[in-house]
Amino acid sequence: MATSSRSVSGAEPISHGRVLKLAAPIILANIGQPLLGAVDTAVVGHLPSPAFIGGVAIGALIFSFLYWSFGFLRMATTGFVAQARGASDHQEIRDIALRAAILAFVLGLAVVALQVPARMIAFWAVEAPLRVEALAGAYFDIRVWGAPATLLIYVGIGWMIAMERTVSVMALTLSMNGLNIVLDLLFVPVLGWGIEGVAWATLIAEVTAAIVGLAMIVMMHRPLGGRWRLRGLLSDREKILGLVKANGDILVRTLCLIFAFAWFTAQGARLGETLLAVNAVLFHFILFTGHALDGFAFAAEALVGGAIGKADRARYRVAMRMTTIWAGIVALTFAVFYLVAGGLLIEMLTDLEEVRASARLYLPWASLIPLAGVWSYQLDGIYIGATRTREMRNGMIIALVVYLVAGHLLLHLLGNNGLWLALYVFFLMRALTLYVWLPRIDASIRATTLKSP
């Protein structure tokens, strides 16, 4: 019989079935993202030089800096909306959505306006061979115009996750990625647009998804109480300061994470075009796993946030335990699958024999990393739901410092093997710091309960 927890408010209990119901659509939706990256790599991987793979890898990396740094728009939206939902504050649910959407659009316009200095800084920070840099620049110049749309999508997805509308997230994400893949296959192999075709496919898909996502959010709000309002929306100083603080903490945390991955890619670039392409191919294994495990992390965000909104310690503990158990099972499944079928996946991603041969040598590193990374992914979800952003920020800073020190030492000793080993150190250090501080969340719920009349 499935373990469950029923709160005193009579809310739906947290069961294994409910966790899977929340996580499964997110897993299917998120797998589409690295699948899209794999298609991007595959369509250029059959062009006559590994420089095209490197160009897509560097171009995508730059947008990881530009867009992942705004990941606080999704994460903060999810945490605050989930807690408002747990407290049955329907007006605040609307207000958070509108505040976040306005912020996202303004920040997106700022990215477009500052694209020239952003491009210069990006290519200064990420060293790559001149041919790779030229291809990545062509990709950047097209895709950057989708910034407002992309950031609005972040807010929409964050709101849907908090409201446990994960099937809607799946529908929106898969339709966006599906359109992107179709356009990839049309623009590159058929029309011969090269790396520019990959960028145009992404831009068109992002703008389309933003429009559809906003329409979905408006429709979902109709059955809820409250009303849309602009007057007074930004006048609540306490709520604004709380949102700014949480967003700032998550921004620092996200920048550290992106820098860690950027440093990994940049070190691979210094090892030559072939190893850059090898690491780009194998990094898709990590992305597949991370996006799948995010399903359970996102479920933890919604369920933990709801429990905290209700000040229900028992419900919080069940949410934490059940989502983590399933995340561990899925991580183990991915590790076994990669060990068995990783060679076939490499062949699907590129037909360049020198890249294939080198990638097989480093396959065990990519295959087993799900078992090292799952714990940090899951703890992130718990902390986001609890809006304990300061601990997330501090833990990431500590992990990054340890990672860079270990990476410099191991890279000189073991080459590309040392680079992969350092990535293990990074994931495990992230998990360790968050685990040490985990009792603070339980204590804060207990304190809230004792203060309640």
Q: Taken in order 423, 60, 276, 189, is the CA torsion positive or negative?
A: positive
90-113 helix and 72-86 helix, angle to the nearest 10 degrees: 170
Which residue, 344, 342, 352, 214, is CA-closest to 283? 342
pTM: 0.78
How far, in Å, CA of 169 to CA of 375, rounded? Answer: 24
Q: Are 369 and 424 in contact (CB under 8 A)?
A: yes
Residues in contact with 29: Cβ distance below 8 Å, sequence separation at least 6, in sequence order: 166, 169, 170, 172, 173, 174
Site of tokens 């024999």: 353
Out of 91-100, 390-399, 422-431, pick the least confident: 91-100
| Cβ atoms within 10 Å of 106's Cβ, excluding its own | 11
What's the pLDDT score for residue 450? Answer: 55
Which structure tokens are listed for 328?
Answer: 């561990």
CA 144, 204, 54, 38 torsion: positive or negative? positive
Q: What pLDDT digit, counting tens, does each position of 271-319 carry?
A: 777 788 888 888 888 877 887 888 899 899 989 988 888 888 888 899 9
Answer for the pair 95, 68: CB distance below 8 angstroms, yes or no. no
pLDDT-derived band at 10 (thresholds 50, 70, 90) equals very low
